[in-house]
Structure 1
Amino acid sequence: MSYDPIDHDFERGQANRRQILGDAWVDRSLSNATDFNAEFQNLITRFAWNDIWGRPGLDHKSRRIIVLATTAALSRWEEFELHTRAALLGDAGNRLTPDELKEVLMQVAIYAGVPAANTAFSHAQKILREIGPQIGYAPTPTAPAAVSHPGIGRQARSAGKPSLHYTVREPRNGKTPRHTVVLSHALGCDLSMWDSLANQLAADCRVIAYDQRGHGSSDAPAGLYSMAELADDAASLLRQLDSGPVVWIGLSMGGMAGQELALRHPALVNALVLANTTSSYPEAARAVWRQRMDTVQAQGMEAIADAVMARYFHDAYRASHAASVARFRQRLVSSDVDGYIGCCHAVGAMETTERLSNITVPTLVIAGELDQGTPLAMTQTLAERIPQARLAVLKDASHLSAIEQPQAFAELASGFLLSL
């Protein structure tokens, strides 16, 4: 029977410890071992660094986050500083950025208490000032009142009438935006329908989302609207924001506004994503829009809510995502009646078919396989008549395809942006 003199649990643990904390720290720790604490060093190397850090169920970056949160929650500041420094200076595959460290500590504030997070931020800030040059980071003086929730963006209202509520998410990578993207919502919705996509695109793009007139927190002028007015609203907002040419992503009514914007204000548009939308309706459909306007005027938003949800979402989605459908239903029924009727008029009277050849920018047309509101034939017209357009069809998607198939929609949009 042979005897292997190597303690493999210890050696594996030591290898993990060196990878996470660095050779200098481990060498210093081992050189300081004495007959008093050597057994303890052996124990933590085998049990913490092998039995836990050696488990493949979580990657090392995730385990770093757990250690930082735990040590902050327990006020183990020596360990917190050790692991903060190691996390910021670690290997590319498992290090944390200063922004990721900030997110850990923001969550600590909620789950372990503000005092713990306050102290953790103080320790982390000291380390960041010390090692900032090594990691290319310099803390910038910033007024607390000037910051905004990164998952929502800076909120404001445009000048003039109608005043539009909008949000701006700056790129999280801190670099010059790869594109400025504008997200324009569907009838009866608001800018929050884009939250998921906006946050994905804001990784390296500037993302503007806004409530169209008559919707959300934007003004709802009296009277019937035209799609040209909705496009002019958008143009006014973009000029106020000094956006330069943008990539416009619009769904349904948002896609209609995008067509008009590209036709009326071509200098403001670099590219278009037109989802679940059309360039015109046949007379029978226009009559349905007029009937909807009359119903809302006489009976209110509740009278059309269930029928609209049936067009927005297919049966299987409504059955499996009842809470999501209920949220959109609530948004619809709480809409301003006059604003909704005004936009219904703009949508029902939409007519750009004969002008589509004048849209000269790259265009991605997205259709929903199950869309009854703007069937595939309508989106095919867009793809055929816009010179630089291509069509993509999302399976198992109805009218609000970005909600029913968010990942597939995001992949199409992101891929299109990469192609520009």
Structure 2
Amino acid sequence: MASTYAPTQTATRGQVVQINNLEMYYEEYGAGKPLVLLHGFGACVQNWHPFIGQLSEHYRLILVDLRGHGHSTNPDNRFTHSEAASDVFLLLDKLGIDRFSAMGMSTGGMTLLHMATRQPGRIDAMVLISATSHFPEQARAIMRRASFGTMPQAVRDMYSECAKRGDEQIRQLITQFNAFHEDYDDMNFTAQSLSGITARTLVVHGDRDAFFPVEIPVSIYRSIPDAALWIIPGGDHVPVYDSEVPFTATVLRFLNDANRE
């Protein structure tokens, strides 16, 4: 449940803050209204680097390594999207950020669903990329059998590049990913719970997503008031890196329009 893009980064320009019992890493770029960027599972802030040049011309970007990912630690060795949402809120509180916009890829988008339903007044606009309201059986089957050896090469490369603490971190993340297949509580949003979201929302999804069939993003779009829907033809999971997909221009237009209202 991650994008498969993690360009090599030779220098760290971020900061680490203490969030309860974990150390959380984040990077900042640009100026203006805050825009929080959350990566997918197994990934890290680097997955957003291809987009920060243009995005930072319009917003103050806050890129976050979720618990146990990248440079962030996770002493509990447990991952739920609900806990990840709490972590991000605590980070933003430490940074003195009350209201913000946000974008999340896959697990990042699912974290945003928890945030937007828990504290709806804080998020002005959000973009959910390849997110889901629940785990369908086809996703659980992938989660159940996933291992480093069976992952596509691009995904293995991403895990290797993003796991700053090496093989042990990769093993921990894959174990947590496997555990999703038997978790029915963490991602369990109904149409009624999603209807309480007040953020202007753009739902982005590929119509060939191997994890989450297109019926799920359509349902999310119908449940969130005043949402917009962008289904990318031929797109698989997190289909935003293809040069043929006008991702940055589209999300900037949406966010700028939403933040003007």
What TM-score do you get using the length of structure 1 for normalisation?
0.52
| Correspondence for 1:359 | 197
- Structure-2 change in CA distance of 1:230 and 1:345 (3 Å): farther
Structure 2 counterpart of 1:235, from 76, 79, 89: 89
Structure 2 counterpart of 1:372, from 210, 231, 240: 210
Q: Name stretches of at least 5 consecutive residues in structure 2 with no aligned partner.
A: 1-10
Asked whether the equivalents of residues 231 and 261 of structure 1 are also in contact (C-alpha less than 8 Å), the reply is yes
| Correspondence for 2:18 | 159
Asked whether the equivalents of residues 43 and 159 of structure 2 are also in contact (C-alpha less than 8 Å), the reply is no
Q: Does 1:415 align with 2:253?
A: yes
Deviations 1:376-399 (A, max 9, x none): 111111101111211012234221
SS of residue matched to 1:181:
strand
Asked whether the equivalents of residues 44 and 162 of structure 2 are also in contact (C-alpha less than 8 Å), the reply is no
Amino acid aligned to 2:118? R
Q: Does 1:261 align with 2:120?
A: no
Between Structure 1 and Structure 2, whose CA radius of gyration is higher? 1
Amino acid aligned to 1:328? M
Amino acid aligned to 1:352? F
| Correspondence for 1:221 | 75
- Structure-2 change in CA distance of 1:406 and 1:189 (3 Å): farther
| Correspondence for 1:336 | 170
Whole-angstrom CA distance in 2 between matches of 1:188 and 1:240: 25
- Structure-2 change in CA distance of 1:241 and 1:343 (3 Å): farther
SS of residue matched to 2:247:
helix
Q: Show the 5 A alignment for 1:2-401.
A: 154-160=13-19, 161-171=21-31, 177=32, 179-283=33-137, 285-292=139-146, 296=147, 301=148, 303-306=149-152, 309=154, 327-328=157-158, 330-331=160-161, 335-342=169-176, 345=179, 349=184, 350-354=187-191, 355-401=193-239
What TM-score do you get using the length of structure 2 for normalisation?
0.81
- Structure-2 change in CA distance of 1:288 and 1:198 (3 Å): same
CA deviation after TM superposition for structure 1 residue 287, in Å = 5.0
Identity within the alignment, %: 27
Higher strand share: 2
Deviations 1:337-392 (A, max 9, x none): 22443355458542113411111211000011332222211111110111121101
CA deviation after TM superposition for structure 1 residue 218, in Å = 0.5
- Structure-2 change in CA distance of 1:263 and 1:257 (3 Å): same
Whole-angstrom CA distance in 1 between matches of 2:42 and 2:25: 15
Asked whether the equivalents of residues 165 and 211 of structure 1 are also in contact (C-alpha less than 8 Å), the reply is yes
| Correspondence for 2:4 | none
Whole-angstrom CA distance in 2 between matches of 1:412 and 1:305: 30
SS of residue matched to 1:382:
helix
Asked whether the equivalents of residues 235 and 265 of structure 1 are also in contact (C-alpha less than 8 Å), the reply is no
SS of residue matched to 1:199:
helix
Whole-angstrom CA distance in 2 between matches of 1:411 and 1:396: 19
CA deviation after TM superposition for structure 1 residue 206, in Å = 0.1
| Correspondence for 1:131 | none
Which structure has the higher relative contact order (CA within 8 Å, separation 6+)?
A: 2
Deviations 1:294-320 (A, max 9, x none): xx4xxxx3x2322x85xxxxxxxxxxx
SS of residue matched to 1:274:
strand
Whole-angstrom CA distance in 1 between matches of 2:140 and 2:61: 33
- Structure-2 change in CA distance of 1:375 and 1:284 (3 Å): closer
| Correspondence for 1:132 | none
- Structure-2 change in CA distance of 1:158 and 1:304 (3 Å): farther
- Structure-2 change in CA distance of 1:346 and 1:376 (3 Å): same
- Structure-2 change in CA distance of 1:328 and 1:153 (3 Å): closer
Amino acid aligned to 1:338? Q
Higher helix share: 1
